[in-house]
């Protein structure tokens, strides 16, 4: 399974995942120029896509959806002027040789979902835009090979920011976004010796830093000695992080670390 995080944050979100025969785009935020440039870097064409999966209808996740209207679009809600096939949480989907399970998340957009992908013996979890992760979902997250998981904010930085109080409450609440510590706790329970890469996603540019998020998660995971060698990358808004696609290498971007190494 190959994949690339193309954009991640409040200005846009997009992720591609590729199996032996299937290519899927998760969310299509950002700008048309950035998405097409990212596709070019990966040597893929828009027409190569087998499906678009939408997590929810906030603009930073669907701003370019009209450029993909001729490709099958799966979403948890109806989207204006676009034909979609509705997905139901916990009902398995099959697209090409991928098995995909939508998970119900807790966010202030109706019916927000995350996705778990299986292909062959590999498992990938993609979870952003949620205020918390339920016990039910925590069970589904265990023992994945790859995680793309939200580490949106540092609580102190959020509370010290100049944002209005109601915005702070929204972000911090159960229908907002995961903080660094909650992300770390989830990964501590979910990661196993199977896990090869964790990508910290949807970081706030005002209430977090890539380095801070990385350090919090690394400190938590280093307590599990069996995770030595696990790679952790902290995503920038427009910095691509990928495994494979166009070549065989793993590109962790400019902010990353490896468990057990300084």
Locate the DSSP E strands across the chain: 2-7, 14-18, 23-28, 51-53, 73-75, 85-86, 93-95, 98-104, 113-119, 122-127, 146-150, 197-201, 231-234, 241-243, 250-251, 256-258
How distant, in Å, are the alpha carbons of 13, 49, 98 from that of 10? Answer: 8, 24, 28
Check pLDDT > 70 for residue 203: yes
Average pLDDT value for residue range 29-41: 94
For residue range 44-89, list pLDDT tens digits in order.
999 999 999 999 999 999 999 999 999 999 999 999 999 999 999 9
Residue 108, CA atoms < 13 Å, CB-side half-sphere: 11
Check residue 247 and give its pLDDT.
75
Number of folded domains in the chain?
1
Distances (CA, A) of 200 to 81, 117, 144, 146, 257: 33, 18, 15, 11, 12
Looking at every residue in the chain, the average pLDDT score rounds to 96
Confidence of residue 262 (pLDDT cuts 50, 70, 90): low
In sequence order, what DSSP letters do the residues of 110-121 get, joined into one string?
Answer: TT-EEEEEEETT
**Range of the structural domain that residue 204 is part of:** 2-258
The stretch 28-47 carries a mean pLDDT of 94
Domain CATH code at residue 207: 3.60.15.10
Q: Which residues of 182-217 are buried (b: 16+ CB within 10 A; e: fewer)?
A: bbbbbbeebbeeebbbbbbbbbbeebbbbebbbbbb
pLDDT at 167: 94
Tokens of 199: 């990508």
Percent of the chain with pLDDT over 70: 100
- For position 249, what pLDDT does the model report? 82
């Amino acid at each position: 399974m190959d994949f690339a995080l193309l954009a991640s944050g409040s200005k846009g979100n997009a992720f591609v995942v590729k199996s032996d025969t299937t290519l899927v785009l998760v969310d299509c935020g950002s700008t048309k120029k950035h998405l097409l440039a990212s596709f070019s870097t990966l040597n893929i064409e828009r027409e190569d896509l087998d499906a678009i999966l939408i997590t929810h209808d906030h603009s930073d996740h669907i701003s370019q959806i009209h450029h993909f209207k001729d490709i099958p679009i799966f979403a948890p809600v109806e989207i204006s002027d676009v034909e979609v096939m509705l997905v139901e949480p916990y009902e398995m989907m099959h697209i090409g040789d991928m098995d995909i399970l939508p998970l119900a998340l807790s966010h202030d957009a109706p019916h927000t979902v995350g996705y778990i992908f299986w292909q062959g013996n590999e498992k990938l979890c993609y979870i952003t835009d949620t205020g918390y992760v339920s016990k039910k979902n925590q069970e589904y997250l265990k023992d994945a090979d790859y995680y793309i998981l939200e580490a949106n904010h540092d609580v102190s930085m959020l509370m010290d920011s100049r944002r209005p109080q109601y915005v702070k409450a929204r972000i911090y609440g159960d229908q907002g976004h995961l903080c660094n510590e909650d992300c770390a706790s989830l990964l501590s329970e979910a990661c196993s010796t199977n896990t090869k890469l964790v990508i910290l996603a949807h970081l706030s540019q005002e209430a977090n830093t890539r380095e801070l998020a990385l350090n919090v998660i690394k400190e938590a995971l280093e307590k599990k000695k069996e995770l030595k060698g696990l790679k952790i990358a902290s995503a920038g808004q427009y910095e691509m992080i990928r495994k494979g696609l166009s070549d065989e290498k793993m590109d962790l971007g400019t902010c990353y670390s490896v468990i057990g190494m300084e």
